[in-house]
Amino acid sequence: MTVLVKQNARDIAYKILDQYFNKQKPLNSALDNILAGKISRLDKNFAYNVVKGTVRHRIFIDYCISQLSHVSLSQLDTEVVTILRLGVFQILYLDKVPYYSIVDESVKLAKKYVHSGAAKFINAILRKLSSFEQPKLHMMQLLDRENYHEFKRTSIHYSYPEWLVEYWIGHYGQMEAEKLMYSLNGNPFTFLRINPEIDRLQAAKELNLKQEESQIDSGLPPGLAKLNFRLSSLGSILDSQLFYNGLITVQDISSQIAVRYFLNPQSGEKILDLCAAPGGKSLFASQLMEGRGHIVSVDISRKKIKRMEENIERLGIENIELLEDDATSLKSLGKDRVFDKIFVDAPCSALGTISKNPDAKYGRDYKDLERLGEKSYQILKCAKDYLRQKGHLIFYTCTLSPVENQQVVKRFLKSFPNFSAEEKISTQVKPKISDGFMEIMPYYYGSEGGFACRMIKG
């Protein structure tokens, strides 16, 4: 069935992309600022998906524009480039919107935000692209005929910066790296964790979930399957009473694995959660402990701590203590406090979240990874002094990057030989732990990617 989308939705998408591409606003900030207005759910969903898709495939889209135009992108007005990117994305990746509609609405945007001359140029480019029987296949075949080296060809094909392509291929090999990039270019599932106190079927009914979404998902880890719904989209779930009352929580499965299996919180334990915001892991740990024990959640952001405080108060949780502090120094904690377990959710490049945050793959370089890895090391170095003998130190990130993950842990273990990585962790999830490390690839569960390691203090 052919679906026609109102022009207003494209207007919204253009404004968001203009803020991101041309005014250097963070993508999520630009999305929130504009989508917070009075917009129909249909227009909001269309704009959200088109914006994320345009950013996700920007490098390939720019390649297509450069092949179709006699003028280089650097010589075009930034507004023209944004409208072209928006139009090219729709032609290449949307199969339910007719080409003539995409071209026509793009021309209208040009007339509104640029000038009539730009409209004629955009019309010519998009008509040329849409004239091919299979536009995306045609442009991919054109790319394959280019005399590019493999890193550049792969970079354009999957729309990842060339340095990152080289980095991942060097670590994973060509086939695995391509599998990773392809997976991260997809739309991720949303994982909805439910409080075990409520009836699963009743929750599904109240949330108006489809039958296939409400059933226990056998593809998820056994210890988490009953606690989660795996959804294609959130819909209106955040407006539900269940969400407001804290009986359902949006939390990616990779971080749930880190809490459930690596932290494995037990009733009565004292746990330190570093870089804790937005607080999902602390809340999950409290739930698993059945509220018995004590969690100290630390974050450097006063704004995030305040938001966590409001959530904890709203949910009636009494065993979480909040501290605003820098995890590399922990000046407010006091040297006399000792914990059974410490969970470090380290600041990272967030490369494992690209499917949800496509802008995460842009605007960084290798030096950023080294800087973030150094910060993680300093956090671990500080945290170790607050751990009791035989206590567990858990290191977790939402990135897939050996400089920020494996190399940080190896450096820490070499510097402090009284710590050792644990391999015998009953995870019941894939993959197997190797050298005490686990990489959670996005194609395992349709989730974010992540890294986890548990060390024991000897």
**H or E, element range at 342:** strand 339-345
CA–CA separation, 209 and 73 (whole Å): 45
From the list 304, 390, 395, the residue with the least C-alpha distance to 343 is: 395
For residue 365, how many C-alpha atoms fall within 13 Å in the half-sphere facing its CB? 1
The 8-class DSSP code of residue 291 comes to T
Cβ atoms within 10 Å, residue 205: 11
Query: Can you tell me which residue has the tokens 């037990």?
Result: 266
- Distance CA(16)–CA(21), nearest Å, equals 9
CA distance 388 to 390: 6
Give the tokens for residue 421. 């990585």
Which residues, other chains included, contact 254 with Cβ-Cβ below 8 Å and sequence gap of 6+?
352, 398, 440, 445, 447, 448, 449, 450
Strand partners, 231: 190
Strand segments, DSSP code E, in 346-432 are 387-397, 419-421
CB of 10 within 8 A of CB of 42?
A: no
Residue for token pair 């990057």: 401
Q: Which residue has the tokens 């959660």?
A: 273
The helix (run of H) or strand (run of E) holding residue 306 is helix 302-315
Please, are residues 330 and 305 in contact by the beta-carbon 8 Å criterion?
no
The amino acid at 7: Q
Strands 190-194, 228-231: pairing kind: antiparallel
- Is residue 64 annotated as part of the catalytic site, yes or no? no
Q: Which residue has the tokens 């404004």?
A: 15
The catalytically annotated residue of 275, 348, 398, 453 is 398
Position 126, amino acid? L
Q: What positions carry a catalytic annotation? A: 398
